[in-house]
Amino acid sequence: MAMSTEAERPYLAVCAIYRWATEYLREWIVFHRLQGVERFFMYDNENDDDHLEVLRPFIDDGSVVVHEWPHHPGQKLAFTDCIERHPDDARWIAFIDCDEFLFSPTGKPLPEVLRRYEQWPGVGVNRRWMGTSFHREKPPGLVLENFTYGLDLPEPNRAIKSIVDPRRAESCLNAHAFTYKDGALAVDENETPFEGWVAESFDQEVLRLNHYFTKSEEEALLKFSRPHAGYGPPRAPLNIKALRRRNENYAVPDDSVARWLPELRAELERIEKGE
């Protein structure tokens, strides 16, 4: 990819490695475009389905760039490759998964929010874990329509995900965090510096990731039977009874993305029609 000039380069891009996610990709990309993401660096981890056709509208308009990535486990390598390959192709790159949806609870576009943090090399974003919404089988329709219960867990997963200035990033530590040049530190949404992949605060008032980690029980069982993109082997077998109890005990309604659903549906319909 040719180097972008300052006037041309997107302000915000997303990088993700993907496999077995094809049916969810359009919703995920369109939602992030609504948040102000202009470019997607997608690492194809040996998909053997119609993923390129699903991505075709975005490849054709230049918003999606696909890199073949036949490495297992491939996530850390892909994120490292992205900062090395695309340091001049976006002001910020968010490194997230295809089951994570990044937005600002303020309702503001992400580029507007991120201008506050330009003096720092990275921003850590806390995640809201979303539950099964009591779906045992995979429901038809959109992820964001179907899974409307978050989990108020007594011990939530506090590992952040990173939005990075690729010109100042030095290396990828793991799926969550980076090191930065000259020993600089990333900050949380309150502008407090932190090291590693756990931020000083767990606030989600300015920036937030909704993490649809399980979706339905059916989808969760399938996910846990497959290799992990970051670590290789499959996860430990899923205890479906424990998953059900967790949702029964800790699920609370969550309408944090509801404001974008009408526009999301309309844009997806337009793309399906080939308009």
> For each of the chain's 275 residues, which pLDDT tens digit applies?
445 566 689 999 999 999 999 999 999 999 999 999 999 999 999 999 999 999 999 999 999 999 999 999 999 999 999 999 999 999 999 999 999 999 999 999 999 999 999 999 999 999 999 999 999 999 999 999 999 999 999 998 999 999 999 999 999 999 999 999 999 999 999 999 999 999 999 999 999 999 999 999 999 999 999 988 777 777 888 999 999 999 999 999 999 999 999 999 999 999 999 98
- What is the set of domains in the chain, with CATH numbers? 12-272 (3.90.550)
Q: Is the bond into 73 cis (omega within 30 degrees of 0)?
A: yes
Number of neighbouring beta carbons within 10 Å of residue 45: 22
| pTM, two decimal places | 0.96
Tokens 């990709």 sit on residue: 25
Locate 2 and state its tokens: 């040719």
- Contact between residue 229 and residue 219 where contact means Cβ atoms under 8 Å apart: no
